[in-house]
Amino acid sequence: MSLADLTQASLSRVASAATAEELEAIRVEVLGRKGTLANLSKDFGKLSPEERAAFGKDLNAAKQSLESAFDARKAGFDSAALTARLDAEWLDLTIPPAGQRPGSLHPLTQIQREIEQLFTSLGFAVLDGPEVESEYNNFDALNIPAEHPARDMQDTFWLDGGFCLRTHTSPVQVRGMKLLKPPFRMIAPGRVFRNEEVDASHEHTFYQLEGMMVDRNVSVANLIYFMKTLLSGIFGREVTVRLRPGYFPFVEPGFELDIQCLLCDGAGCPVCKQSGWVELLPCGLVHPNVLRLGGIDPEEWNGFAFGLGMTRLVMMRYGIEDIRQLQGGDLRFLKQF
Ligand code: DAH
């Protein structure tokens, strides 16, 4: 085969090679040390000097054109391979790693943090109290002496030595009055315990958030303002509230604060039992006895207090129908939040 024919035939084989391996095989066959091109130059010695010069030139030109054809094809295969690999192996950095999933905050924790943020922005300190509390702080200091019938309102887990599992967060008021000098504002979120028969709406363990503000000339109007601010913040919209008289020994006057039902805007629906109102927040002006027992002169200072049922609030906000789901530890439930 002449050099020109060989070059032509090889170039078209290069052009039609289907894979990088096939291309490489052709390269070895044509340009390799024992390839067809090398074979052709074997007879070099038999040529005359003029023929040798001319043939050498042709040979080099053929070699160069073949090499650049090979290189171009090779580059084509390489980049196609790279593209295919990038398509197959691309890395999505937004996919969470398999196995451990990022956790999420429990809905109670979420709501607690929101309320804390809101109240700290209003100048309230966030206090913590122990879950095992003295009988004195849980009851007596809140104007509920032994034998007071109000003790029966809260089924209590009694412990030895004058202690109990706190039945409400109100004892943190007692601690707050000793810790902070008036004027002060404080909230105290936390876990409380009642010796309850457990069902869809009663748990032996639930969460409250206590609030107390002590200053000069605190009025019910101040109380309403803060409660409206709190509830509007939590529900993300303006809420309408009303006060009804309510009895708690540690406040006087004491109220049940209702909000106009957010589902029916007061028209009446199953959630508000057709009344248009939902009972949400017991509160009142701090009883002078409580201030006195807390070392604060009720002639000079007064204040308001409230006890928000955080568990109840979470259930309302997310439409949770069974209180037991909140502490049940079922991840399928918790992962929704
Ligand atoms: N401690 C009460 C309870 O758990 C709730 C409560 C009512 C707290 C009135 C208050 C308040 O601070 O002023 O039943």
A 10 A CB-CB count for 103 gives: 9
| CA-proximal residue: ligand 1, atom 12 (nearest) | 306
Asked whether residue 53 falls in the same domain as residue 166, the answer is no
pLDDT winner (highest mean) among 36-40, 77-81, 174-178: 174-178
Rounded to an integer, the average pLDDT of 121-141 is 97
Q: Of 320 and 300, which is predicted with more confidence?
A: 300
pLDDT-based confidence at 74, cuts 50/70/90?
very high
Do the domain assignments include residue 99? no
Asked whether residue 283 falls in the same domain as residue 149, the answer is yes
Asked whether residue 137 falls in the same domain as residue 176, the answer is yes
Asked whether residue 11 falls in the same domain as residue 153, the answer is no
Do the domain assignments include residue 96? no
How far CA 202 is from CA of 197, 283, 321, 322, in Å, comes to 7, 21, 11, 9
Which CATH number fits the domain that encloses residue 150? 3.30.930.10
What is the rounded distance in angstroms from the CA atom of residue 42 to the CA atom of residue 56? 12
What is the rounded distance in angstroms from the CA atom of residue 253 to the CA atom of residue 243? 11
Q: What is the pLDDT of residues 223-275, one digit of tens each?
A: 999 999 988 888 888 889 999 999 999 999 999 999 888 878 889 887 788 99
- Distance in Å, CA 30 to ligand 1 centroid: 95
Q: What is the pLDDT of residues 81-98, one digit of tens each?
A: 999 988 888 888 888 777
* DSSP assignment letter at 189: E
Question: What is the span of the domain harbouring residue 216?
Answer: 107-334
| CA-proximal residue: ligand 1, atom 9 (nearest) | 283
Which pLDDT score, from 0 to 100, does residue 109 have?
95
Which pLDDT score, from 0 to 100, does residue 179 have?
96
- Distance in Å, CA 170 to ligand 1 centroid: 6
Do the domain assignments include residue 95? no
Which pLDDT score, from 0 to 100, does residue 164 have?
97
Which pLDDT score, from 0 to 100, does residue 153 have?
82
Number of domains in the chain: 2
- Distance in Å, CA 310 to ligand 1 centroid: 12
Which pLDDT score, from 0 to 100, does residue 262 have?
80
Boundary-marking domain end, from 60, 88, 116: 88
A 10 A CB-CB count for 194 gives: 19
Which pLDDT score, from 0 to 100, does residue 40 have?
80
Asked whether residue 175 falls in the same domain as residue 221, the answer is yes
Do the domain assignments include residue 174? yes
Q: Which residues line ligand 1 (CB under 6 A)?
A: 168, 170, 210, 248, 251, 282-284, 305-307
**Mutation pick for ligand 1 pocket among 168, 243, 286 (CB with most ligand atoms within 8 Å):** 168
Cis omega (within 30 of 0) for bond into 97: no
**Mutation pick for ligand 1 pocket among 127, 144, 153, 250 (CB with most ligand atoms within 8 Å):** 250
**Mutation pick for ligand 1 pocket among 137, 144, 155, 170 (CB with most ligand atoms within 8 Å):** 170
Which pLDDT score, from 0 to 100, does residue 170 have?
98
pLDDT(321) > 90: no
Which atom of ligand 1 is closest in space to residue 284's alpha carbon? 13
How far CA 302 is from CA of 124, 216, 282, in Å, comes to 16, 6, 18
- Distance in Å, CA 118 to ligand 1 centroid: 20
Do the domain assignments include residue 94? no
**Contact call for residues 189 and 116 (beta carbons, < 8 A):** yes
Do the domain assignments include residue 102? no
